[in-house]
Chain A
Amino acid sequence: MHILIIEDEEKTASFLRKGLTESGYVVDTSGNGDEGLLLALDIDYDLIILDVMLPGRDGWSILETLRRAGRKMPVLFLTARDMVHDRVKGLELGADDYLIKPFAFSELLARVRLLLRRTPQRHNETLQVADLEIEFARQRASRGGSRLDLTSKEFALLSLLARREGEVLSRTLIAEQIWDINFDSDTNVIDVAIRRLRSKVDDPFKKKLIHTVRGVGYVFEDR
């Protein structure tokens, strides 16, 4: 997967390149609007990450030119200007998503993955990680053969973590996915919910599956 980052702030471009490369993407960067547009027209990228304020040519104009040239690759906007009309403008011009600075890298990664996921996510009937087995249709989970007594929210939380095994999920994303809470709220809530889930899924067993990534969120993994 080939990603182009057009971003004039060097530090931002550099950590984005590093993070995305390490996540398995091939990344090009450009710090100038005109140069970035030429690159974007020249090479068939799978995704473009675009800053709004750029030297040479701003993000809006790049996006407009690309779409007029018939390029349909997904475009993710980065902006420090958290204005409603900016968002609306970006989406109207054909941006697929936007992130407001400062953003968590995990958040960006999650959105990049979502935009690049061409085939719909597999919805297996069952999922097996280590000795944990989840039957989605029957809303049942068991470890080592014994059934776990989970509430429906706890089951949903476990399912979310297990389906995105190995992916670090931020608290914001969890709140959004499980409770449909779309604003910054008390992050304590997620911590408590995870703690309660762990007490049932991990605590009684030697092998831990839910891990905390400090400062970022939680990951489900068989380590």
Chain B
Amino acid sequence: MKTDSPGQVKTAPGQSYWSITWRLTWLYTLSASIMLIFASGFLYWVLIATLEKEDEEFLNSRIEVLDRILRTGSKEALENEIDLENVGFTNSQYHTYSRILDESGRTLYEAPGMDREIPSAVFPSAGRSKGKTKRWLSASNKTYQLIAAQAGSDDAGGSTWQIQVALDETNEEILMNQYERYLAAVLLIGILASAAMGAVIARRGMKPLVDIAKTAERVTASQLHERIGAAEWPRELVSLARAFDGMLDRLEDSFDRLSRFSADLAHELRTPINNLRGEAEVALSKPREEQEYREILASSLEEYERLSRMMDSLLFLARAESAQAMLARSRIDVRTEITKVINFYEALAAERKVPVTCAGDGVMDADPILFQRVISNLLSNSLRYTPSGGKIVFSIQDVDNGVEVTCCDSGTGIAQEHLSRIFDRFYQISPSRNPKTDDAGLGLAIVKSIVNLHGGRIGIKSALGEGTSVQVFFPA
């Protein structure tokens, strides 16, 4: 496998260093091969061992027979036995050749032609006990199993002989060679077959993954509603499919919000820019009085101001969303801060004849300016929708691990269908009803983002004709 080291060319996207299918195939083949090799190796070994043991036993029995005849002292019987040892066995694989040596190593008797084929020197040295066998290849390219043993009387002074017996194994050798070739062929075929099967199995196993990828590919920006969880996936992939769908849900939601936001933004920009352009065009179309020019410039200035403020708010929201460290938290007395904002709005509230009051107490850690901004936006909003004679009440409640501030007005209220989107940027319940709002529908969005920045919660309750109450919770 390639390693990713600096300077090396990286693979193009879409390619990867290895495929799971190949890995699985490779591992499967490897394990199957190891099993096959072990199994056939073991069988082969057992066969060889068994054959060798049989041969050895046969040779030993020959030595015993010859030994017994030697002990009888009958030379004739011995010569008979050695000459005729292969008579009647012509078709058998067991062709043996025997030789008797005296103490000094001289040949007393041997099977006919044996001295040319198997000289006595090639035999292993004789032992008292059952001798070790030795494998030997003769000049005529025949394989023999050789054995030598001491024989004769055990008592001291008695003459001892040496018996040498050779077993012709050439047929057995040919058989074994054939067997080995078959075994190798079987092994090779087995390994190839297991590789092929492994590839098929791995491919089948990976198929759901390929399918899931294909489904995922169908999801494009214009088809964000596609979901992959609908099909029946194997258990291992269910959680992946679910996670993927969850991600799509969030993505679709943000995407919707974003496109709505862009549209709203364009719309909101269009109005002031249209004013500016129109005014300037008309102003330049003919010479005018100085006073008129002043009016036009002043009017543009108002539009610029509107644009500036909108931009500031949008930048604020963008920054709050990317959660850059912008909180300058300090311990604040909630009531003091709210009272400060209420005082600021005093003149406006008095003019609208909507008294604003504050009840309760609380202390918490928050950014004081941002908190004031929350209160200011809430109050400004409530004042806008509360008719003269109504009232606005801020109540502070020290709750578990935080402070809850409720802004409750007796205004016109908000219909249920708007509540879920009321905190969205640029969302205005009816744009025509309040054409000259100051915040272009960004006020509550800013409130929400400030509350989120502080790790708090926001909620809204409203009934048409009865009023609205916005509840914000800040962790202490």
Chain A interface residues toward B at CB < 8 A = 82-84, 102, 104, 153, 175, 179-189, 192-193, 195-196, 213-216
Main secondary structure of the interface of B (DSSP, over half): helix
For B302, give its contact among A153, A186, A214 (CB under 8 Å): A214
Chain B interface residues toward A at CB < 8 A = 295, 297-302, 304-305, 307-309, 311-313, 315, 324-326, 340-341, 343-348, 350-351, 369-370, 372-373, 376, 380, 438-439
Name the residue on A nearest B351 (C-beta). A192
Complex Cα distance, B347 from A196, in Å, reads 8
Is there contact, CB below 8 Å, between A186 and B348?
Answer: yes
Chain A residues, CB < 8 A from B370? 183
Taking the closest CB of chain A, its distance from the CB of B344, in whole angstroms, is 4
Q: List 21 A-B contacts (CB under 8 A).
A: A84-B324, A102-B304, A175-B344, A179-B340, A179-B343, A180-B340, A181-B372, A185-B380, A186-B380, A187-B438, A188-B348, A189-B348, A192-B351, A193-B348, A195-B351, A214-B295, A215-B297, A215-B301, A215-B302, A215-B304, A216-B301
Complex Cα distance, B369 from A35, in Å, reads 40
For A153, give its contact among B299, B346, B380 (CB under 8 Å): B346
> How many residue pairs bridge A and B at CB < 8 Å?
75
Taking the closest CB of chain A, its distance from the CB of B66, in whole angstroms, is 106
- Given known pairs A84-B325, A184-B309, the reply for A214 and B301 (CB within 8 Å) is yes
Taking the closest CB of chain B, its distance from the CB of A180, in whole angstroms, is 7
Chain B residues, CB < 8 A from A179? 340, 343-344
- Given known pairs A84-B324, A215-B302, the reply for A193 and B376 (CB within 8 Å) is no
Complex Cα distance, B316 from A82, in Å, reads 9
Chain B residues, CB < 8 A from A82? 315
Is there contact, CB below 8 Å, between B347 and A184?
Answer: no
Chain A residues, CB < 8 A from B376? 181, 183, 185-186
Complex Cα distance, B350 from A192, in Å, reads 10
Complex Cα distance, B313 from A185, in Å, reads 11
Complex Cα distance, B301 from A192, in Å, reads 20
Chain B CB within 10 A, most for which of A84, A186, A187: A186
Complex Cα distance, B319 from A84, in Å, reads 10
Complex Cα distance, B374 from A185, in Å, reads 10
Chain A residues, CB < 8 A from B300? 215
Chain B CB within 10 A, most for which of A102, A180, A189, A196: A189
Known A102-B304, A188-B348, A189-B344; 16 more pairs at CB < 8 Å: A82-B315, A84-B324, A104-B305, A153-B343, A175-B344, A179-B343, A181-B340, A183-B370, A183-B372, A183-B373, A184-B312, A185-B376, A186-B376, A186-B380, A188-B438, A192-B348
